[in-house]
A = this chain, B = another copy of it.
């Protein structure tokens, strides 16, 4: 039987011949450069069967290639079997990115079709630089002609959040943005990032799995805020969405149809806009072409990104509440897991955890797909737990669970690695070294001006001394009932010049992974707080928002410093003190044992 993806790639080639395209480039993202696209935009998956979170495809008359990174090599090779497409490895020393690969073909004036909606301006720019003779044809929704039953643009119920939850009204946020525009000497800004729009308008939807966003664009001028959004729900005047729309309109937000954004941009000058601010890092190529011959474009980093990261006191209160609820869920889950050692599998554990979170008032879904990984499974940092045939949680070794919830009042992200019974010396050592790293970053005190690449090493050096390391970042920003990943700050070695500030929320999640053996990761969400000023500077530090004990039974205590042990004991004591009055008695009793000082 012919491979379905092979057939699809061949069908695309037929389309290419019809249109005179020498090649087609497709990306795994959406028109908003989202980290996770809705089903409609999983074009790479539809064409090749590859389900990884990052992958781009190039198809020529005689070649089909998938470009993805180290995380997905094994998976890609498996999923591409029989499709005729081959893997091109990225994030390896010998990598050849798409533009350079196309240049190496040395074609004269190749006609390259791209999905202008899902290709960013910068990606097209790199292509032009590498292949100056290329004729680039932007085709919106390029695959639509082939993709029967292609999912529509999602349009889920939209809710609004009041000032009681967000601490700041949309009028106040719009007013702040307009003041910022005045300082730039500009009279408009286009927001394309879905989390930024949701934050600014205090709206939430469910258009994308795990991300409470509304697929839309927002054009803010000095006296208008035009929201380009799917208006289907408006048809039913009794719906929650219709209520939300009415509230927004009352606050001066004009509802426009999602598809009208292109026309709106191409006629900006007629609307009196002379100078528009745009963050090109997330702008799709189709929108960019609509701006040609329009007003002057001022390329900026969207100010919403930083402002959104600086949580106000209401948001911080909400995040505390979310982490309290989430901690109660986690402790019940961990109690259950240890009760069921040897009798449940990874999938069942993930399901049980999900069922506990679902009972929390204000729960709005998980913040990402739960990673429930026993033993060797946990050696894959991005393990996807299969619903069938997942591994049994045995009564020995390590079980890793990385999960999080979306609540109306905040977003959580937590990883606990649980000793299920006797552990090997290596498991104990790795567990302890990751704990040292986690604690050393959490204990950090630093002056204003310190950035993520400076702090990152605090969660690495303790394991580096033992020549161990991990291949992912150490921590990412966390939204307030928004994306579980948000910038602009992060703990990572890559250059990032955003100084940490009081109000930033960030994860602290070092790990150690050993193929075929085990994986360890410890993750709390931290709040950056002011520690006062003195003659040497203005000082900042972290407070863990996450409330869930760390298991001390498989620690090699000799590897911890006194400061680290004190931190751990104080943290576990605090978790017990806050959570135990609200936990079922048998869980509280168990937790009391689990949080005895070491």
Contacts and interface: CB of A to CB of B under 8 A. Distances in A.
A446 B458 contact: no
A60 interface: no
A407 to B, nearest CB: 34
A287 interface: no
A453 interface: yes
Interface string A281-314: 0000000000000000000000000000000000
B561 A467 contact: no
**Which residue, A446, A460, A461, A562, has most C-beta atoms of chain B within 10 A?**
A461
A33 to B, nearest CB: 25
Contacts of A453: 453-454
B447 A465 contact: no
Contacts of A464: 444-447, 539
A443 interface: yes
Contacts of A447: 464, 469
B536 A468 contact: yes
A467 B562 CA distance: 19
A133 interface: no
Nearest to A455: B457
A455 B464 CA distance: 12
B469 A536 contact: yes
Contact of A446 (B446, B449, B461, B561): B461
A100 interface: no
Interface in A509-541: 531-532, 534, 536-537, 539
Nearest to A534: B467
Contacts of A445: 461, 464-465, 467
Q: What does DSSP make chain A's interface, helix, strand, loop or mixed?
A: mixed
A495 to B, nearest CB: 6
Contacts of A497: 495
A532 B454 CA distance: 25
A491 to B, nearest CB: 11
A427 interface: no
A456 interface: yes
Interface string A231-274: 00000000000000000000000000000000000000000000
A460 B447 CA distance: 10
Interface string A329-371: 0000000000000000000000000000000000000000000
Interface string A444-480: 1111011001111110110011011100000000000
Residue from A443, A445, A562 whose CB has the most chain B CB atoms within 10 Å: A445
Nearest to A441: B461
Contacts of A531: 467
A536 B463 CA distance: 11
A566 interface: no
B465 A443 contact: yes
A424 interface: no
- Most B CB contacts (10 A, CB to CB) among A447, A457, A460 go to A457
A533 B531 CA distance: 40
A539 B444 contact: no
Contacts of A561: 561-562
A461 B540 CA distance: 12
A239 B285 CA distance: 70
A297 B460 CA distance: 42
A589 interface: no
Contacts of A539: 464, 467
A375 to B, nearest CB: 18
A568 to B, nearest CB: 16
Given A453-B453, A457-B457, A495 B495 contact: yes
A493 interface: yes
Nearest to A495: B495
A290 B497 CA distance: 38
Contact of A536 (B449, B467, B495): B467
Contacts of A468: 536
Nearest to A540: B464
A297 to B, nearest CB: 21
A457 B497 CA distance: 15
Contacts of A534: 467
Contacts of A443: 465
A575 B531 CA distance: 41
10 contacts: A445-B467, A447-B464, A450-B493, A458-B461, A467-B536, A467-B539, A469-B536, A469-B537, A561-B561, A561-B562
Give 7 nearest A-B pairs by CB, closest first: A469-B536, A445-B464, A445-B465, A454-B457, A561-B561, A467-B539, A468-B536
Given A445-B464, A446-B461, A495-B495, 14 more contacts: A444-B461, A444-B464, A446-B457, A447-B469, A449-B493, A453-B454, A454-B456, A454-B457, A455-B457, A457-B458, A464-B539, A467-B532, A467-B537, A468-B536
